[in-house]
Amino acid sequence: MTILQVLPKLDTGGAERVVIEIAEAVQSCGHIALIAAEPGALSNAALRTGARIINLPLASKSPFTIRRNAKRLEKLIREHRVDLVHAHSRAPAWSAYWATRRTHTPFVTTYHGVYSENNAFKHRYNAVMARGERVIAVSAYVAELIHSRYGLGSDRLRVILGGVDTVKFDPASVLGDRVSRLSRDWRVDMDKPLIMLPGRLTSWKGQKTLIAALARLRHADAIAILAGGDQGRGAYAASLTALAESLGVAGRLRIVGHNEDMPAAMMLADIVVNASTNPEAFGRTIVEAQAMGRIVIATDHGGARETIIPGETGFLVPPGDAAALAQAIDAALDMSAGERIAWGRHARDHILRHHSIAAMQQAVLNVYAELLA
């Protein structure tokens, strides 16, 4: 069989990694995985799965381009005899929806985001993600959101929690000088408490909340690391530096950009923070950090409530509350080394039992089988 996945661009992000993981599962079963998207930072990772990338301008939200892309996808579906199309983002999903209606091809969507709906136009634009013959929600929180907005029931709606590669994200697999090399590149002293916020630089990811918390910490030698690219938002990155300077913590802040070796980065950190001010649909970095045996502090909303056990594998704090975040970081840093190791082991065990990538891949293949049987 031939499975076509569509998304805007193979750039860094949780949805993009899910696409690659699904392509890997499709290929490993002896089928053909196609990915239609604009090339990006994860293109090579996609190619390593054996998938074929078809370069289409699917990132555009122009109605005219979306219509043209529908015709391009229709042609692609017919030429490659595609058996099923799986959309992971709204603009490509509209093109795929029209193309699959014309070709009578099964259509699946994954609802990766929370997608704000502040007017009727946005509601209609978002609605395509609920038009799949099967609609995958990445958390129970997202499933409830879809149900409340569009009335979808269990006949079409499937909850498939995100997975993590527990072989790649395993403390025992981080060998050699990978951690020390990052510490040198990022100019951090490994003897200092290190707090990492992984994620692209954008305001809702809460980098400013972490910087404000950094200025409130009792552990005044702690260093905060922001690991993620700005993806063209240079002004926002500059505002983070300006905020740190105004609070007197610029010397304790490292903005290190995109990093390919996240297992080593998380191994370097003592605490991993997810400070998103808007609810995360799932929160991939939260499960990756727990798989690495790290204590995670996240905001108390969205998918984080389904992946952290408060008081056992991490802490939940109110969104945008720098004082509460500082208090939680201090509490985690107050722990003895033995306590942190025990929490870390419990966190990794929790991920191994509930968030393996293999379970996620099999669940998606099961959804395909429902439509292709």
Taking only the tens place, the pLDDT of each residue in 171-219 is: 999 987 999 999 999 999 999 999 999 999 999 999 999 999 999 999 9
Distance between CA atoms of residues 25 and 265, nearest Å: 27
One DSSP character per residue, 73-118 reads: HHHHHHHHT-SEEEE-SHHHHHHHHHHHHHHT--EEEEE-S-----
For residue 74, count other CB atoms closer than 10 A to its CB.
19
Distance between CA atoms of residues 356 and 327, nearest Å: 31
Average pLDDT over residues 343-355: 93
Name the CATH superfamily for 171-354: Glycogen Phosphorylase B; (3.40.50.2000)
- Work out the percent of the chain whose per-residue pLDDT is above 90: 87
User: Residue 163: is its pLDDT beyond 90?
Assistant: no
Task: Give yes or no on whether 2-163+356-372 and 171-354 have one common fold.
Answer: yes
pLDDT digits (tens, 9 = 90+) for 48-73: 999 999 999 999 999 999 999 999 99
pTM of the model: 0.84
User: Residue 231: is its pLDDT beyond 80?
Assistant: no
DSSP reduced 3-state for 8: strand
For residue 13, the model assigns a pLDDT of 78
Q: 227 - beta bridge partners?
A: 198
Domain 2-163+356-372 falls in which CATH fold?
Rossmann fold (3.40.50)
How is residue 291 written in tokens?
């798989």
Alpha helices (H) in the chain, listed in sequence order: 14-28, 43-48, 63-80, 90-103, 120-126, 140-150, 178-185, 207-214, 234-246, 262-268, 284-291, 304-307, 322-334, 337-354, 357-372
Average pLDDT over residues 112-141: 93
Amino acid letter, 277: T
**Confidence band of 37 (pLDDT split at 50, 70, 90):** very high
Averaged confidence pLDDT in the chain: 95
By mean pLDDT, which of 24-33, 77-86, 349-358 is the weakest? 349-358
H/E element holding 193?
none
By mean pLDDT, which of 142-151, 228-237, 333-342 is the weakest? 228-237
Distance between CA atoms of residues 197 and 119, nearest Å: 32
Average pLDDT over residues 261-265: 95
Distance between CA atoms of residues 363 and 342, nearest Å: 31
Q: What is the dihedral of CA 260, 262, 263, 267, to 10 degrees?
A: 130
For residue 181, count other CB atoms closer than 10 A to its CB.
13
For residue 146, the model assigns a pLDDT of 96
Question: For residues 19 and 7, is the Cβ–Cβ distance under 8 A?
Answer: yes
Average pLDDT over residues 142-149: 95
- Work out the percent of the chain whose per-residue pLDDT is above 70: 100
**Confidence band of 113 (pLDDT split at 50, 70, 90):** confident
Distance between CA atoms of residues 267 and 292, nearest Å: 7
Per-domain residue ranges of the chain: 2-163+356-372, 171-354
